[in-house]
Amino acid sequence: MTQLLTLTSSPNSEASISTALVERFADGLRQKHGDLTHTQRDLGVNPPPHLDQATIGAFYTPSDALTPEQTDIIGLSDELVEELEAADIIVIGAPMHNFGLASGLKAWVDHVLRVGWTFRYTENGPEGQLKGKQVYVVTARGGDYAKSSPIHALDHQAPYLKTVLAFIGLDDVTFIHAQGVAKGEEGIRAAEAQIDAITRGEPDEQAA
Ligand SMILES: Cc1cc2nc3c(=O)[nH]c(=O)nc-3n(C[C@H](O)[C@H](O)[C@H](O)COP(=O)(O)O)c2cc1C
């Protein structure tokens, strides 16, 4: 049984390009893996709350010392981490907002980087604890931030996501970018072709 987790993060649920691409990805994976089970989390429509003092306090409290109130406060965070732990394949939909992540996806990051759980401090430094999972990130951005583009350095979305995912051990990450969607459909078609090639098991020539 292959477990797929999809995370979408566009607040623009009906017309979202990244969400449509994630759905296409899930359809393709469903055809590829006959035994797929699929958990979906929409972080755009139902964003996790911003971290507050009580939540941070509970994150840094040992599990055997948590009060019932603290256990309740971190219930959603626990659920989000458990979804990640259960997944074999994770597909993340990421609209570019103001050169970075949509705030719902950033809030999710804040809830799943859990000290002592998804990462630990060891004598060799921090060590990510989630291993052996395949991650795909599908972005949509109005501009074109490809390596050859003059605005490439303004992409604070993909490098940031790569860093935080690697920090919790998710280091097998493939990015699929729908670039320049404000100017036309070419970037969307290219992303669709890349997704179809991946789900058909063809070599991914765009992988960077
Ligand atoms: C609040 C907001 C901020 C945006 N910021 C950027 C940006 O910094 N750079 C960019 O290229 N496009 C930006 N865009 C355009 C989106 O990246 C583009 O519309 C993309 O399709 C959003 O993904 P979605 O269709 O899945 O919601 C922004 C759009 C919104 C609504």
Reduced to 3 states (helix: H, G, I; strand: E, B; else coil), residue 138 is: strand
**Mean predicted confidence (pLDDT) in 66-90:** 98
pLDDT at 39: 98
Q: Which residue is listed with tokens 């477990």?
A: 3
| Mean pLDDT calculated for residue range 58-73 | 96
Q: Using CA atoms, how far apart are residues 95 and 191, in angstroms rounded to an integer?
A: 13
104 lines ligand 1 (CB under 6 A): no
Does 158 contact ligand 1 (Cβ within 6 A)? no
Centre of ligand 1 to C-alpha 94, Å, is 10
151: which 2 tokens?
């605005």
CA separation for the pair 127, 36 (Å, rounded): 30
DSSP character for 122?
E
Query: How far is residue 35's CA from residue 26's CA, in Å, rounded to a whole number?
Result: 13
CA distance 35 to 30: 8
Residue 90 CA to ligand 1 center (angstroms) comes to 22
Q: What is the pTM of this model?
A: 0.96
Q: How confident is the model at residue 202 (pLDDT cuts 50, 70, 90)?
A: confident
What pLDDT is stored for residue 70 in this prediction? 98
The two three-digit tokens of residue 9, written as one number: 């993060």
Question: Tokens at residue 37, please?
Answer: 């089970």
Q: Is the CB of 98 under 6 A from ligand 1?
A: yes
> Does residue 208 register a pLDDT over 60?
no
69: phi then psi, degrees, rounded to nearest 5: -65, -40
* Ligand 1 neighbourhood includes 9 CB (under 6 angstroms): no
Percent of the chain with pLDDT over 90: 93
Cα 144 to averaged position of ligand 1 atoms, centre (Å): 11
Instruction: Decide whether any atom of ligand 1 lies within 6 Å of the 16 Cβ.
Output: yes
Give the fold, CATH level 3, of 2-199: Rossmann fold (3.40.50)
Ligand 1, from 97, 103, 137: best to mutate by most atoms within 8 Å of Cβ? 97
181 CB within 6 A, ligand 1: yes
pLDDT tens-place string over residues 85-137 = 999 999 999 999 999 999 999 999 999 999 999 999 999 999 999 999 999 99
Lookup result for tokens 């958990």:
39
| Tens of pLDDT, residues 17-27 | 999 999 999 99
49 Cα–ligand 1 center, Å = 21
Tens-digit pLDDT profile for residues 30-63: 999 989 999 999 999 999 999 999 999 999 999 9
Confidence at residue 204, expressed as pLDDT on a 0 to 100 scale: 63
